């Protein structure tokens, strides 16, 4: 495998990536798919990933662990704030320095925005953000990009609609920044008015001259090449009655997609925003998207460890 690497040690945000970084990551991920098909390799033999999940996770955690094992590496884990030293008052900084004594690379999910930057600032080993509250989720955005390229055969020139909880959904923030690296992307942001895309994303689009429209009707998203649905993020609401009022605001049904080629993506877990009758349609890319998490995380682990 050619040594392409990444020009940084820690991955906390998609804003730090350039087009050549995404090109290198997607190319390495494609090579990693071949390794998965062959049943794995020994590229990271002897390396240990510390996997720290202080917020619930199924896919991200399992796919990081699967990725490390497919590369011949090992994993040590800690989860649940209530069972960790963080609960006893330890700072994120101390937890990271400690975890680095046991491992060669660290990934962490934590409920606070900015926790990933704090961790990266002190980590003596490569650090990967696996989600910092409603902030960023860069590895998800890279696997989303990989999925878009596989499903549509290209990224430049696509119309991408994002629907649902754009305020608290970290995956759509991270993905918007990445799409901004491509040419002639048209973004459509559909959400209830309480959950619109934050200014950090809309002002980025304005600065970069990326075309975007905002609205609240699902119908406006159905003509896109990619329809990226998101879950209303219950855990981020301070007023639960507001969540109850908004939780079923959008439900994509098979009937909406009749005669359309639109690819439907979702970072999962889904609640009610995609009806199960969509699952059988060729448009439904979300389970294929999940699968792509492994080669993309293999690529990132190998590249940050200087092995690809």
The answer to whether 59 contacts ligand NCD (rule: CB under 6 A) is yes
Nearer to ligand NCD, 47 or 266 (CB): 266
Those residues with Cβ within 8 angstroms of residue 241's Cβ, 6 or more apart along the chain or in another chain: none
Nearer to ligand NCD, 180 or 267 (CB): 267
The answer to whether 118 contacts ligand NCD (rule: CB under 6 A) is no
Give the CA angle between residues 237, 239, 245 to the nearest 5°: 90
Tokens representing residue 37 in the block: 């098909």
Question: Quick one: which of 135, 138, 137, 178 has its CA closest to 158?
Answer: 178
d(CA 244, CA 248): 8
Is 45 among the catalytic positions? no
The answer to whether 150 contacts ligand NCD (rule: CB under 6 A) is no
User: Percent helix, strand and coil across the chain, each rounded to 5?
Assistant: 45, 15, 40
The answer to whether 292 contacts ligand NCD (rule: CB under 6 A) is no
The answer to whether 10 contacts ligand NCD (rule: CB under 6 A) is no
Nearer to ligand NCD, 126 or 267 (CB): 267
Assess whether the previous peptide bond of 78 is cis (omega < 30° from 0): no
Question: Of 37, 38, 88, 240, which is the active-site residue?
Answer: 88
Strands 127-132 and 226-229, sheet pairing? unpaired
Least distance to ligand NCD, CB of residue 120, Å: 19
Rg for the chain, CA atoms, rounded: 19
Is 59 among the catalytic positions? yes
d(CA 198, CA 177): 12
Those residues with Cβ within 8 angstroms of residue 89's Cβ, 6 or more apart along the chain or in another chain: none
Q: Which residues in the 224-283 window bind ligand NCD by CB under 6 A?
A: 231, 267-268
Is 137 among the catalytic positions? yes
Is 37 among the catalytic positions? no
Those residues with Cβ within 8 angstroms of residue 272's Cβ, 6 or more apart along the chain or in another chain: 247, 248, 251
Q: Which of 25, 107, 136, 140 binds ligand NCD (CB under 6 A)?
A: 140
Question: Quick one: which of 14, 283, 292, 265 has its CA closest to 143?
Answer: 292
Question: Of 10, 47, 109, 256, which is the active-site residue?
Answer: 109
Least distance to ligand NCD, CB of residue 238, Å: 18
The answer to whether 170 contacts ligand NCD (rule: CB under 6 A) is yes
The answer to whether 131 contacts ligand NCD (rule: CB under 6 A) is yes
Nearer to ligand NCD, 104 or 132 (CB): 132
Least distance to ligand NCD, CB of residue 191, Å: 14
Is 260 among the catalytic positions? no
The answer to whether 60 contacts ligand NCD (rule: CB under 6 A) is yes
Question: Of 12, 14, 25, 60, which is the active-site residue?
Answer: 60
Phi, psi of 76, rounded to the nearest 5 degrees: -120, 145
Tokens representing residue 38 in the block: 């062959």
Using CB under 6 A, count the residues that bind ligand NCD: 10
Least distance to ligand NCD, CB of residue 157, Å: 27
Contacts with ligand NCD by CB under 6 A lie at 59-60, 131, 137, 140, 170-171, 231, 267-268
**Residues acting as catalytic residues:** 59-60, 88, 109, 137
């Amino acid at each position: 495998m050619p040594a392409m690497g990444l020009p940084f040690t820690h991955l906390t945000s998609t804003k730090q990536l350039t087009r050549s970084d995404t090109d290198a990551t997607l190319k390495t991920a494609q090579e990693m798919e071949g390794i998965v098909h062959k049943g794995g390799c020994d590229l990271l033999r002897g390396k240990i990933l510390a996997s720290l999940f202080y917020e619930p996770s199924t896919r991200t955690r399992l796919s990081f662990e699967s990725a490390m094992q497919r590369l011949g590496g090992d994993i040590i884990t800690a989860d649940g704030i209530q069972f960790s030293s963080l609960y006893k008052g330890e700072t994120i900084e101390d937890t990271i320095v400690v975890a680095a004594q046991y491992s060669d690379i660290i990934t962490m999910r934590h409920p606070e925005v900015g926790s990933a930057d704090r961790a990266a600032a002190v980590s003596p080993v490569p650090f990967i953000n696996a989600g910092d509250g409603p902030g960023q989720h860069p590895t998800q955005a890279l696997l989303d990009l990989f999925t878009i390229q596989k499903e549509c055969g290209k990224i430049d020139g696509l119309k991408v609609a994002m629907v649902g909880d754009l305020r608290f959904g970290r995956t759509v923030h991270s993905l918007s920044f990445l799409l901004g690296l491509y040419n002639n992307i048209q973004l459509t942001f559909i959400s209830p008015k309480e959950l619109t895309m934050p200014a950090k994303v809309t002002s980025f689009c304005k600065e970069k001259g990326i075309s975007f429209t905002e609205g609240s009707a699902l119908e406006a998203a159905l003509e896109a090449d990619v329809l990226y649905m998101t879950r209303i993020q219950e855990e981020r609401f301070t007023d639960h009655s507001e969540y109850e009022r908004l939780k079923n605001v959008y439900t994509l049904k098979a009937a909406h997609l009749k005669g359309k080629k639109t690819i439907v993506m979702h970072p999962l877990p889904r609640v009610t925003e995609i009806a199960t009758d969509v699952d059988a349609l060729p448009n439904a890319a979300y389970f294929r998207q999940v699968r792509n998490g492994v080669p993309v995380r293999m690529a990132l682990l190998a590249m940050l460890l200087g092995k690809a």
